[in-house]
Amino acid sequence: MAQDLPQLLIIHPPLSLTHIESQLSRKFHLLRAWESEIPLDQFLTTYARSVQAMLSSPITRVNADLLRLLPALKLVATPTAGVNNMDLVECRQRGISVTPSGSAFSEDVADIAIGLLIDVHRKISAADRYVRKRLWTSKGEYPLGFKLGGIGIVGFGNIGSEVGKRLEACGCIVSYNSRRKQQALPYLFYSNVHELAANTNALIICCALTDQTHHMIKKEVLSALGREGVIVNVGQGAIIDEKELVRCLVHGEIGGAGLDVFENEPHVPQELFALDNVVLSPA
């Protein structure tokens, strides 16, 4: 009986739930709050004394208000590496463990970063659209894409390092920016992201969102990247000043973008829908 299994609270379903649900169901009694018709606080109150574990989604705000309703909680697991939806201080004070995914998905995210980078440079999605509109037969060849060149990695953690490996194999000159220079790394280090942008053809944003990185990619950095520069974001949306990015793309002040994250998901600035030099991924 599911009722005999330990409870696992899920307030909003994380994207990967469909893939792990059957496995989880064998070991836990899943409390599916998002499917319940009773208001969330009532739902939580029902299980307040019993629920010890919760699986969180990036949109679940794990803050003092929520934790107050769950006095028995001991563990918050999350299928993402980012924890900026969680009040970690509050969790620590209440003795609640937090287990982010860490590097478990780094290789997948790095693959997506390379996929987006090549897609923008080689115009893969735009060319696919061109063929599907039957323009190849009526209007002739689609313009060629351009080569990958010098690429800058912003944030050199697990994801950044996996991205670096892949870029090296593609013959790119790899540069990076992170809090400190990493010894024994064969890549060029730039101590600030502006210098990195000025010396590369594309930036791949792999860092976490913090107070320091919020809107770190702003007007000056985009200008330094230049009219042929490409930006790929697999970090978090708010690392880029999205309004400024949209303005630069619309006015051709940068060359293109591959975006796996947005500032206000699932809202995507609709100016981007008209552009062929951007690739939009609903992360």
Provide the binding-site residues for its own copies, judged by CB under 8 A: 15-16, 18-19, 107-108, 110-112, 114-116, 118-119, 121-122, 124-125, 127-132, 134, 136-137, 140-144, 147-148, 165-166, 168-171, 266-268, 273, 279-282
Minimum separation from the CB atom of position 123 to its own copies (A) = 9
For residue 98, give the nearest of 49, 63, 59 by alpha carbon.
63
Closest CB to its own copies among 122 and 181?
122
**Cβ atoms 243, 263 nearer than 8 A:** no
Minimum separation from the CB atom of position 98 to its own copies (A) = 23
Check residue 270 and report its DSSP letter. Answer: G
Minimum separation from the CB atom of position 178 to its own copies (A) = 20
Closest CB to its own copies among 49 and 134?
134
Minimum separation from the CB atom of position 211 to its own copies (A) = 28
Minimum separation from the CB atom of position 171 to its own copies (A) = 6
Burial class of residue 257, CB neighbours in 10 A (0-12, 13-18, 19+): buried
Closest CB to its own copies among 53 and 232?
232
Q: Would the CA dihedral through 223, 225, 231, 235 be positive or negative?
A: negative
Whether omega before 266 lies within 30 degrees of 0, making that bond cis, reads yes
Minimum separation from the CB atom of position 147 to its own copies (A) = 6
Closest CB to its own copies among 195 and 276?
276
Q: Which amino acid is at 235?
A: G
**Cβ atoms 29, 2 nearer than 8 A:** yes
Distance separating alpha carbons of residues 100 and 45, to the nearest angstrom:
25
Distance separating alpha carbons of residues 144 and 116, to the nearest angstrom:
17
Closest CB to its own copies among 112 and 205?
112
**H helices present in 106-201, as ranges:** 106-122, 124-132, 135-139, 158-169, 193-198
Closest CB to its own copies among 100 and 149?
149
